[in-house]
Amino acid sequence: MSQMDDINSYLDDNFDAFVDHLRQWLEIPSVSTLPEHRADVAAAAAWAAGRLRDIGFPQVEVVATPGHPLVMASWMIDEAQPTLLVYGHYDVQPVDPVDLWLSPPFAGTLRDGNIYGRGASDDKGQIVLVMAALQAWAKVAGQPPINVKMVLEGEEEAGGESLAAYLPNHLERLRADAVLICDTHMVNDLQPSLITSLRGIVCAELAVFGARSDLHSGSYGGIAPNPLHALCLLLSRLKGEDGRINIAPLAEHIPTPSEAERQLWRDDSLGIASGLLAGMGVAESVGENDYPLLERIGIRPTLEVHGIVGGFTGAGSKTVIPAEAVAKISMRLPSELDPQQVFTWLEEAAQTLMPRGYRLEVRCLHSGRGMSANPDHPAVHLAAQSVEAVFGRPPVFLREGGSIPIAALFSELMAAPVVLLGFGLPDDEVHAPNEKFSLQQFRQGMKTVAHYLGRLRREENFSPAMPPPV
């Protein structure tokens, strides 16, 4: 039996323990955007550090930051071997509306071959599968086959400022030959995929001010500025029913996809578009319907409104005209665009499109660049081979609609390829009620990562095209 067979057996034999690890972590409600969960976020960091020590990492540290802590670990086995930096995030999205969850969001409930809980797929489950792969190597071979560093942050869902600030000042500590991020999803449970680009993101608030105080619609309705209505006018102008974003310089800067990519989007031989429609539970998409769905997800910019704050939103009615109202919006951007630049375009367009009689403040909550990975790099190739070895078919290379700003920073600052190898599924309900992770994906993910670690080992299968270790 080969070493890889031993490792796979170890992963199968101990699978229930790994599920239990994930369940323990899911029980810690590490919601990074809500101040009341600060201690929980810290507890989730401590849990991760404990696990990494248990696996055998000789160096594990919880690093305090102005925000939530970083969990840093490294296991250097041999300077002649390449170093893989594994990135993940242990913070999770808020869970509201909580009454739509079929089981408690912070419980890790097993049902129908899945584990349910906030963070199951995004991203705790995908970190735990990497931990499992490392534990298998440690138990079977005494150590990982290559040098491994890990950095886990607690602010991915809250802008990721602390790691973004830490990274440029600690490049030596984090230096690696490749960065592995397991925080994306596959096309479906049969068809694995590797992500070649991530969209950038800007999260912003449009704050509109009208009268000096809230007003009664009986006394002032029909003559008063109504910031809620002004936001409706503004948002309908920034993006129409046709989905076109009315920010002139943006339209001029959308990159032109290659003909091959266009072909892929048009043909959609994997039926990804119909999977997306099924995921939404709708018969037709909304927005720029003159573009293929995959083009819209992959390269078109988006502008979405996520919430409107102001006035009365309780039960019943209150005929108040609020003095101010705020829209929370985000824009997803093709990886080629600079989000800070786009924010200034947004601000200018919003001020221009704003109805008369109001004051508008456009605030940047956070932003992050997109990134693209070269599919020809050996670190990406070897990942594709590992996927094929476990899943039985080669992965497709896709542009991903989501944003992992830190991936762009790694790519930019570390001059290392970022391998986006995700095991989520499109119906994981990431960011929504009833988030889950397929146990089958969890198992295959462990085996794929364990395989990848072995492939990266220099004297065995390491591609000669891979640059020498740092």
3-state secondary structure of 186: coil
Residue with smaller CB distance to a second copy, 9 or 219? 219
User: Which helix (DSSP H) or strand (DSSP E) does residue 193 occupy?
Assistant: strand 193-198
For a second copy, the closer of residues 120 and 224 by Cβ is 224
Q: Which of 206, 276, 419, 425 binds a second copy (CB under 8 A)?
A: 276
Q: Which is nearer to a second copy, 215 or 360 (CB)?
A: 215
Beta strand extents in 395-461 (DSSP E only): 396-400, 418-421, 436-438
Q: Is the dihedral of CA 270, 271, 276, 281 positive or negative?
A: negative
Determine, following the binding rule CB under 8 A, whether residue 119 of this chain makes contact with a second copy: no
Choice from 188, 191, 285, 372 touching a second copy (CB under 8 A): 285
If one counts every other C-beta atom within 10 angstroms of the C-beta of residue 99, the result is 6
Token pair for 290:
């003159």
The length of the chain, given as a count of residues: 470
Phi-psi region of 431 (alpha: psi -120 to 50; beta: other; left: phi over 0): left
- Per CB under 8 A, which region of 65-73, 123-131, 157-165, 262-270 contacts a second copy? 157-165
Q: Any contact of residue 271 with a second copy (CB under 8 A)? A: no
Looking only at residues 290 through 329 of this chain, which bind a second copy when binding is defined by CB under 8 A?
Answer: 293, 296-297, 300-302, 304-322, 328
User: Restricting to residues 373-412, which ones interact with a second copy according to CB under 8 A?
Assistant: 400-403
Beta carbon nearer to a second copy, 113 or 221: 221
Q: Binding residue for a second copy (CB under 8 A) from 201, 349, 373, 418? A: 201
**Identity of the residue, 284 or 459, whose beta carbon is nearer to a second copy in the bound complex:** 284
Contact flag: residue 21 with a second copy (CB under 8 A): no
Nearest-angstrom CA–CA distance, 450 and 137: 7
311: left (phi over 0), alpha (psi -120 to 50) or beta: left
Paired tokens of 109? 């409930």
Among 47, 197, 61, 62, residue whose Cα is nearest residue 128: 47
Q: Give the nearer residue to a second copy in terms of CB position, either 177 or 400.
A: 400
**Cα angle 122, 97, 39; round to 5:** 60
Instruction: Tell which one of 131, 224, 247, 379 touches a second copy (CB under 8 A).
Output: 224
User: Which one among 280, 413, 415, 465 touches a second copy, defined by CB under 8 A?
Assistant: 280
Residues 230-249 interacting with a second copy (rule: CB under 8 A): 231-233, 235-237, 239-241, 243
Contact residue for a second copy among 157, 345, 383, 407 (CB under 8 A): 157
CB of 150 to a second copy, least distance (A): 24
- Contact stretch for a second copy (CB under 8 A) within 16-24, 40-48, 93-101, 413-421: 93-101
CB of 387 to a second copy, least distance (A): 20
Structural Rg of the chain based on CA atoms: 23
Minimum CB–partner distance for residue 26 and a second copy (Å): 18
Nearest-angstrom CA–CA distance, 192 and 438: 14
- Closest C-alpha to 414, from 68, 138, 87, 88: 87
Nearer to a second copy, 123 or 177 (CB): 123
Q: Check whether the bond before 214 is cis (ω within 30° of 0).
A: no
- Among 56, 62, 78, 94, indicate the residue that binds a second copy (CB under 8 A): 94
Element at 149 (helix H, strand E): strand 147-153
Residue 340 interacting with a second copy (CB under 8 A): no
195 touching a second copy, by CB under 8 A: no
Distances (CA, A) of 79 to 145, 179, 299, 326, 470: 12, 17, 40, 53, 8
469 lies in the binding site for a second copy (CB under 8 A):
no
Report the residue from 229, 253, 262, 381 that binds a second copy according to the rule CB under 8 A: 229
Site string for a second copy, 433-462 (x = CB under 8 A): xx----------------------------
Which of 6, 268, 288, 338 touches a second copy (CB under 8 A)? 288
- Report d(CA 365, CA 202) in Å as an integer: 8
**Torsion angles phi and psi, residue 274, rounded to 5:** -70, -30
In the chain, what is the greatest distance between 2 CA atoms, to the nearest angstrom? 84
Residue 210 binds a second copy (CB under 8 A): yes
